[in-house]
Each structure stands twice: as structure tokens, then as C-alpha cells.
Structure 1
């Protein structure tokens, strides 16, 4: 049996054995990074449009990026990168 199954391009459903391996690799990388003094961060995948508008990348991406408006009308995008979030004032 496979340890992971492709759900869509770049998206996988992890089966039990594959998930155990993924968790172990994550644990090893995390411990090595902690040992050299690095810090871990986590950014959400869905981000507000405004920082990307400010940087000009909202229009630069054009139709090549997944966007949506929430129930209040605020626009968001599925973040291809997180530079804008990491450099907010």
C-alpha cells in the first residue's frame, strides 16, 4: 500500500505509514534547526489582498493566482509566497 496518495497536483493525502515518516522527518529537521538557534514560524495559506496590492504583486499575478472574496466582500488570495506577511510594519 502506498504511503501517500496524490489528491491533486501538489496536494497529498497522507496514509498512516507515510504520515509517520513525514512526522519523523519534520521532528528531525525541527530539532536540527532548534540546535542552531533558528525559530519556526507558521503563516496561513489564505491571506488578505491588501499587502499584495501594496507590493504590486496582486495585479502582477493576474489570473494566475487563486483569489476569493469572503462574505463581507474582503478579498483574499491563496498565498504563493509570504514575503508581504513577513515584512509588514
Structure 2
């Protein structure tokens, strides 16, 4: 797995390790936020424009504190679009070494 350094989309402070997940977006490992988390490709593109909604960031951080691996997706519906935070199932997880 190839890593690159990118600004953490959760804390917006630290430089995190980011790797591309096939067909699923990106996986991040931030020293400030804790365990690995995922951001879907659409949520990543949307966050690049306006950032991840603060409510979704708070839910992601709570999942990390609870020892869960969160994933944020952007649900694009008409007339309302929104960020949704989900727990990544163990069978879907990719391990960062």
C-alpha cells in the first residue's frame, strides 16, 4: 500500500498518512486523531471544497474514542445532501502497517 502525506480532514491540523482504498476512497492515520479512519471518494472531493461538516467530524472522532473504525460518506440526494458516518465492518478493513 502506498502512502502520501495530506492534511487530516478531521482535526484539520496534523499531517496524516493517507492511502487510496480500491473502490472505497481513502484511509487516513492521523497521530492526533488516533486510529485509522476512512473517507469515501465523494466525501473526499466534497471536503476539498468546503470541508467535512463539523457534526460529521465530531461523530468520526467519537467513533475513534470508542475504539471503532469510522467511515464518512457523502450522500448526494435531492434536495438535501449530507455526510453520514458509518462503522467499517471488520471484513472491510484494510490494515495500515
Q: Same fold (TM over 0.5)?
A: no
TM (norm. structure 2) is: 0.23
The structure whose Rg is larger is: 1
TM (norm. structure 1) is: 0.24
Relative to its length, the structure with more helix (as a share) is: 1
